[in-house]
Amino acid sequence: MKLYQEILFLQHFAKTAWVVENVQPYYEPLIAGKKIGRHLFWSNFFIPTIESNDADINRGKIKEWQELHGFDISKYKLNQRRDKVLRNCVNAELGLHIFNYCTGAIPPIPLGTLFSELQEQKHA
């Protein structure tokens, strides 16, 4: 419930652009989010869908995930399994895509406008 608590708080009180990410759950989300790849996103700005090159988290190997994300965690002491850390990463291209819309590097499209709906259909 902490995830939804955070989303509701941001929806009502945030005065700046925000985005929350979670891996697609096995259950129907209580608050509908934007599905891109294997992730759900909630935000107060429009995020067009793009193709996400996610690793196969069910069959992949640590080396494959490290290559996909562009870093090696083998030299670090972690408090959790290495595969868990890598499975939870958001694809860098997807993160940059969202960051560009959030920061205004790509002009935002207000949610609920005709153009945002047309733009969403174009990217679906």
- Kindly list the distances between the CA atom of residue 48 and the CA atoms of 5, 62, 122, in Å, as whole numbers in the listed order: 25, 30, 9
The full set of domain ranges for the chain reads: 1-50+91-124, 55-89
Per-residue pLDDT of 66-101, as tens digits, reads 887 788 888 888 887 877 777 777 778 888 888 888
Residues of the chain with pLDDT under 50: 122-124
How is the beta sheet containing 34-36 ordered, strand by strand? 19-23, 39-43, 34-36
What pLDDT is attached to residue 57? 66
Consecutive H or E run containing 64: helix 62-69
What pLDDT is attached to residue 31? 93
Dihedral class, residue 9 (left if φ above 0, else alpha if ψ from -120 to 50, else beta) = alpha
